[in-house]
Amino acid sequence: MFEPTPAETTTFTATFDSSEIKTEPASPSSQTFFFFDTPVDETKPKRASHKRKPASSSVSPSSPGSPSDSPNSDSPPSAPAAHIPRPPNAFILFRSSFIRAGAVPARVEPSHASLSAIAGLTWAALPPAEKAAWHRRAKEEREKHRERFPGYAFRPRNRTTSTSSNNNSDGVGGTDGEGDSGGTSSSGGGGVQEKPKRRQREVPPADRPRNAHIASLLLTGLAGAALDEAIARFDQERRERGEGGVEVRFGVVETPEGRVKAAADACERATSPAVRRGAKEKAGSVKEPKTPRRRKASSVRSPSSSSSSPASPASPTMELTTNDLPPFAFDFDLESFPPSPVDQHNTAFDWPYGSGVPSSPFDGFDTVPSSPFNSYPPSPALSHASASSSRSISTSASWEDLSLSLAMPSLPLSPLRTSPLSACSSMSSLSSISSDMELGCGLGAMGAMPVDLSSMSCMGMYDAGVDGLLPPYDLDLGLGCGMGMDAYLTSYVEETQTQAEGLVAW
DNA sequence: GCGAATGAAAA
DNA sequence: TTTTCATTCGC
């Protein structure tokens, strides 16, 4: 089913095999709403990967799988030892699936950089159960990788010391040890290649608000033509307001300056004075000397780490943080969505929203999602998410609207819970949550719900630093739709816990 | 080769 | 703690 195409034979994504999809947990009520499996279109030849060259980290395991076992079985027998790629992690798997599923059509967003950003946002908002499935799969991949390449050890190459590293190349090669046993890598041995030091982002990602908007649309279930339309409207409205951003897309050359300006402008607009971050974090301010390479979006780290980290480990040049993201509205009923293919062993899974299908996102669902959210008046800002209303989906929300919504007062926050959005801000600490709350961004704030999610601690990503976590539905923004969600959340959490019990601990 | 994202793993 | 690299592919 997921048979790799020749071009794929060097990748591990190719190892996905429907037959290997776990036949487990499959809790009867497995609720998954955002699961992209990899409906690989084998008829579509894949382009050669541009993936980074193995550097010197290629590894010929001491007792590798036989060459035929190697992913590069195509390579000539006399070929130098093949690079063994690392096993993909959960997000990489998710991203691949996300892309393959065409969740965001190329006509909407052709840039894979942006797609990655969107995937990242989506990932951050993924329900724990969904993430669990991906983590489980990643774990399987790791295990398979281990079996295949028993001698493999990840040997990252030190690129930071560009010249010295070359001088140090013996050391590098040494550490690569097994990897260079074939003396294969171009940089191996005497092949001094000035390795550029690790790149650092010099420009902010293009049109972050737009990416966030797309993610939020996806999370509301939009797909196909509806998604196109919604995004087109979004773009159009921004244009009408003279708010660029979209102009940098669709083939238009993006110069760093242009992107900086576009993103800065977007940031400026998106961040109203009321929600602007503290003065210490001025947009476009200093570049951090040691750039925190990225924010930790979904990983909830230990309290210690979070306490030591700044409130916004944003990009070095732009202070656009995920705190600035629009809210995601989960305005649908999980039960209306198809079950996870992983749990269902569904080999021919298409992502629930009918990727690429020019139809309503709700096609395939008998009933328009009827979540408890529907009982509440949708936020004007989230009108695009008003899946409950009808099949005609208003997508009038703008980044500014969403920003406005961010400024709305929030309800008391339960310290027990955090949300993907707060995770986006890389925080698990209460202080950061407070920060989020100041921004009005994020934590849905229903009254304290005595939900003890400690049983989900088996999910490594939600570590002990957090007393518990919320399913992503906790993203109301004080829009008046929060309180009544308790029951819904409780039931969800209970179900999730049930599911979690079946998960292998990571 | 870079960019985007997150996460595993090594340094 | 920091860095690399796993994925993708247009530029």
Whole-number distance in Å between A227 CA and B4 C1': 21
Q: pLDDT for A180-216, tens place per residue? A: 333 333 333 333 334 344 344 444 545 788 888 899 8
Residues 61-90 of A with CB under 7 A from strand B: 86, 89-90
Decide: pTM greater than 0.75.
Answer: no
pLDDT, residue A220, reads: 85
Q: To 5 degrees, how large is the angle CA A16–CA A19–CA A25?
A: 100
Whole-number distance in Å between A117 CA and B4 C1': 5
Whole-number distance in Å between A294 CA and B6 C1': 10
How does DSSP assign A16-63, residue by residue?
A: --GGGS------TT---S--------TTSPPPPP-PPP-TT-----SS
Distance CA A140, CA A366 (A): 34
CA A474 to chain CA centroid, Å, is: 18
Nearest nucleotide by C1' from A253 CA?
A: C11
- Using alpha carbons, list the distances in angstroms from residue A109 to A6, A387, A415: 27, 23, 37
Strand partners of residue A462: A300
CA A467 to chain CA centroid, Å, is: 23
pLDDT, residue A244, reads: 56
Whole-number distance in Å between A87 CA and B11 C1': 19
Q: pLDDT for A25-51, tens place per residue? A: 323 233 344 555 544 443 444 454 455
Whole-number distance in Å between A458 CA and C5 C1': 26
Asked whether residue A138's C-beta has any atom of DNA/RNA strand B within 7 A, the reply is: yes
- Residue A91: which of A59, A68, A57, A125 has the closest Cα? A125
Whole-number distance in Å between A205 CA and B4 C1': 7
Per DSSP, the three-state class of A92 is helix
Dihedral, CA of residue A303, residue A500, residue A126 and residue A225, to nearest 10? 180
Asked whether residue A50's C-beta has any atom of DNA/RNA strand B within 7 A, the reply is: yes
Q: Which two tokens stand for residue A500?
A: 């979690």
Nearest nucleotide by C1' from A71 CA?
A: C6
Nearest nucleotide by C1' from A322 CA?
A: B5
- Residue A469: which of A444, A434, A503 has the closest Cα? A444
Each of the 506 residues of chain A gets a pLDDT tens digit; together they read 222 333 333 232 323 233 333 323 323 233 344 555 544 443 444 454 455 544 443 343 433 333 333 333 333 444 556 788 899 999 999 999 999 888 898 888 888 989 999 999 999 998 898 899 999 999 999 998 998 888 888 888 776 543 333 333 333 333 333 333 333 333 333 333 343 443 444 445 457 888 888 998 998 888 888 888 889 888 888 888 877 543 333 333 333 334 334 434 433 443 333 222 322 333 333 333 333 344 433 333 323 233 333 333 222 222 333 333 333 333 222 223 333 333 333 322 334 433 333 222 222 222 222 222 222 122 222 222 222 222 222 222 332 222 222 222 222 222 222 233 222 222 222 222 222 222 222 222 222 222 222 222 222 222 222 222 222 222 222 222 222 223 333 333 344 343 433 333 32
Q: Which nucleotides of B are covered by protein (CB under 7 A)?
A: 1-11
Distance CA A340, CA A137 (A): 12
Strand partners of residue A300: A462
Whole-number distance in Å between A115 CA and B3 C1': 11
Q: Which residue has the closest alpha carbon to C7 C1'?
A: A92
Whole-number distance in Å between A6 CA and C10 C1': 21
Q: Which residue has the closest alpha carbon to C11 C1'?
A: A253
Whole-number distance in Å between A410 CA and C3 C1': 39
Q: Which nucleotides of C are covered by protein (CB under 7 A)?
A: 1-11
Asked whether residue A295's C-beta has any atom of DNA/RNA strand B within 7 A, the reply is: yes
